[in-house]
Homo-oligomer: A and B are copies of this chain.
Amino acid sequence: MSQNIYDNDDFFAGYSRLRRSVEGLSGAAEWPVLRDWLGDVRGAHVLDLGCGFGWACRWAREAGAAEVTGIDLSENMLARAREMTPDSAVRYVLGDLETAEIAPGAWDVIYSSLALHYIADLAGLFARAHAGLRQGGRLVFSVEHPIFTAPTNPGWLEQDGRKVWPVDGYLSEGPRSTNWLAPGVIKQHRGIGTYVSLLLAAGFRLEHLVEWGPSPEQIADNPVWSIERDRPPFLLVSASLSP
């Protein structure tokens, strides 16, 4: 059973104020890369693992998806998602990704934004996702980058007047407790090698892997983001059924 931090009042209040919560996909700077990989979803059956407020579910439906299902473990988030998506072709389902059933052979696209780093049994989830995809289907996801999740103390240090990110424990995979919006948020740290190995072991073929940082244009709009190029915040992956 995953920690349900999103139904913690303080966390939910903080999360609701994040730019990506207020503005939706246009407030998520990594979204253009993921959208390109999602491609043409007209007529597609789309599953969103950890759908939150349902921004991507709505995007998929507006882009022509035939049917969209979002799964999330937060009642708070699903309530808002349903309120914002009055569309009978979009379903929101309460579920824990550790164990949630994924209908076999039912999906053209399985998407997940910044949720899989909460999952302890990622091998199990990838196996269910692989079985859930139809021929030609793909899994597109983002997670926090392992450089970001590894440290005992995840915060910038000063060295010779520059900021450096203090990596330790990179190969010591497992839970990390951090204070992000609320104390004691549990994330599962794993390396890029492990994400890739688990995907390949589940039968996926790797199509794209990007260590995301803001573009020069995005930094021009938000100069404080330039530090994110010193250690990438997100890992973005697209994988398809073999061969």
Contacts and interface: CB of A to CB of B under 8 A. Distances in A.
A168 interface: yes
A171 B208 contact: no
B200 A206 contact: yes
Copies in the complex: 2
A227 to B, nearest CB: 9
A226 to B, nearest CB: 10
A87 interface: no
A205 to B, nearest CB: 7
B168 A164 contact: yes
A211 interface: yes
A203 interface: no
Interface stretch (A65-73, A120-128, A134-142, A153-161): A153-161
Interface string A167-192: 11111100000000000000000011
B168 A165 contact: yes
A162 B152 contact: yes
Main secondary structure of the interface of A (DSSP, over half): mixed
A193 interface: yes
A57 interface: no
Contact of A170 (B169, B196, B206, B232): B232
A91 interface: no
Nearest to A162: B168
A148 B172 CA distance: 17
Interface in A201-243: 205-211, 213, 229-232, 235, 243
Nearest to A167: B165
A192 B200 CA distance: 16
Contact of A164 (B163, B167, B196, B205): B167
A151 B7 CA distance: 39
Nearest to A146: B211
Contacts of A207: 200
B172 A229 contact: yes
Interface of A: 147, 151-153, 157, 159-160, 162-172, 191-193, 196-197, 200, 205-211, 213, 229-232, 235, 243
Closest 10 CB pairs of A and B: A164-B166, A193-B211, A243-B243, A171-B229, A171-B213, A168-B230, A196-B209, A165-B167, A206-B206, A191-B211
